[in-house]
Structure 1
Amino acid sequence: MQMTRPIVESTEGVTLVAGGPVTRRDLSVALARAPVLVAADGGGDSALRLGRLPQAVIGDMDSLSHEGREALRGRVHHLPEQETTDFDKCLRSIRAPFVLALGVAGARIDHGLAVMNVLVRRTEPVCLLVGPQDVVFHAPPELRLRLKVGERISLFPLGPVTGESRGLRWPIDGIPFAPDGRVGTSNAVAEPEVRLAFDGPGMLVILPRARLDRALRALVPGWRAGATTAARGR
């Protein structure tokens, strides 16, 4: 896995904006939890359109407009290699407790699949994809989530993986999951605390977007809502 010196270092969470659809509300929700703003290539234009100035713009710069380059002069970090995606370039260039990624999949299925691939391969920093309806993250070996009974929880494997569960309507114990075999979408919460354990990497967890804070509490030690300082990059 390619390594690089970090471009952005923060003791707080980072909001990463890419070139896909991002609303003003999306960005406000993310910045309230991860106040350091970074853009992936054309996401620099998205940030400017929403009235925000990212601390850094990272990518191969095949999407950022000329106007965006001018407005963000001194903040653009051009990584021209074509072996990895802009999302990958950003994650390996950020050192922070966690990243909230917005607009990274967009309307293209191939982009979305590439993002999921990176999400599983890069275990640091912790990264959560925040979409219009869902929150997606790579499951750690053990996970405890406080959720509402009846809520949707989906598990999607990007590699062969088995696990154990407590608190799911349909337990997963001993099931051999695989992307070309059994998947675990549209399960449901049966108890207020869900416990999951996996025998290896590769499982994506998909929750309703309203459970973003619950996911952060489970994934980021010591995180609590309202603990961040004012958003930077304005």
Structure 2
Amino acid sequence: MFDIVIVANGNIPTKNDWSDIGYSLLVCTDGAAITLRQFDITPNIILGDFDSLGVDELSFPHSELQRSDDQETTDFEKALQYCLRFPDKKILCLGTLGGSADHAIYNLSLVTRYSDKLDLTLLNPTPEGHQWIFKLKANMRIYTPIKTIISFFPFHEATLNAPALEWPLTHTHITQLGSAAVRNRTTAEITDIECQGECLCFISTKHYPVVL
């Protein structure tokens, strides 16, 4: 389903939440490496300045450690920059939300920025199950169960057309400081969305929705 999984040091889903997701490369930030070790998962690549790891915790004999002391970028952005060498791969990002709010907001902005170069999806665990987050393209078709919760958040504004929703969007202009489009629901198994501008889509389903 995905080619690469990036794990950042935020609210990392439990091992059971993503054990059925296939991937060929696992990249993690240094702070997330300890959690993966507790899950008995060995990352292929560990990135960061390693300031969050003690000497004893740096022992990952089967992982490639890539150190960067660049303080101008977060560890999650370092992982995204590393993955720029794989522009055609589908990438799932875990642990990007939760923890401090400023990191969470910045990580969402990173997904918006890097999605022009990478095929990115975030998985965020919620009390309702799984929330999948990705940047909208100009035209998208999404397959989900009927009554799936769907939200939209612009960076910083967008105009949306999405008729197959409980509250249909018809040339609806949304902004960060104005009109919102959150907690809507699908009314069909196929949802066609047109988007002008920069906008993230949030879908709450157990399984990754088919997105075309």
User: What is the Cα deviation at residue 209 of structure 1?
Assistant: 3.8
Structure 1: give runs of 5+ residues left out of the alignment.
1-11, 220-234
Cα deviation digits, residues 25-76 of structure 1 (max 9, x gap): 13413xx332421111211111111111111011232223333322258611
Aligned residues: 203
1: distance between equivalents of 2:181 and 2:61? 43
Structure 2: give runs of 5+ residues left out of the alignment.
none
Match of 2:95 among 94, 99, 103: 103
Which TM-score applies when normalising by structure 1? 0.79
2: distance between equivalents of 1:115 and 1:159? 15
1:99 maps to a residue whose letter is: I
Task: Report whether the alignment pairs 1:207 with 2:200.
Answer: no
2:158 maps to a residue whose letter is: V
Matches within 5 A, 1:54-203: 54-72=43-61, 75-94=64-83, 95=86, 97-123=89-115, 124-133=117-126, 134-200=131-197, 202-203=198-199
Q: Is the 8 A contact 1:42 1:65 kept in 2?
A: no
Which TM-score applies when normalising by structure 2? 0.87
Other-structure match for 2:211:
218
Q: Is the 8 A contact 2:26 2:44 kept in 1?
A: yes
Structure 1 residues 211 and 142: alpha-carbon distance in aligned structure 2, compared to 1, 3 A threshold: farther
2: distance between equivalents of 1:181 and 1:174? 15
Classify the secondary structure of the residue corresponding to 1:26.
helix
Task: Report whether the alignment pairs 1:19 with 2:9.
Answer: yes
Other-structure match for 1:5:
none
Classify the secondary structure of the residue corresponding to 1:162.
strand
Other-structure match for 1:4:
none
Structure 1 residues 72 and 162: alpha-carbon distance in aligned structure 2, compared to 1, 3 A threshold: farther
Cα deviation digits, residues 58-95 of structure 1 (max 9, x gap): 12322233333222586111122122211111112111
Kindly, what percent of the aligned residue pairs are identical? 24
- Write 1 or 2 for the structure with the bigger share of helix: 1
1:140 maps to a residue whose letter is: K
Structure with more relative contact order (C-alpha pairs < 8 Å, separation 6 or more): 1
Classify the secondary structure of the residue corresponding to 2:59.
helix
Task: Report whether the alignment pairs 1:28 with 2:19.
Answer: yes
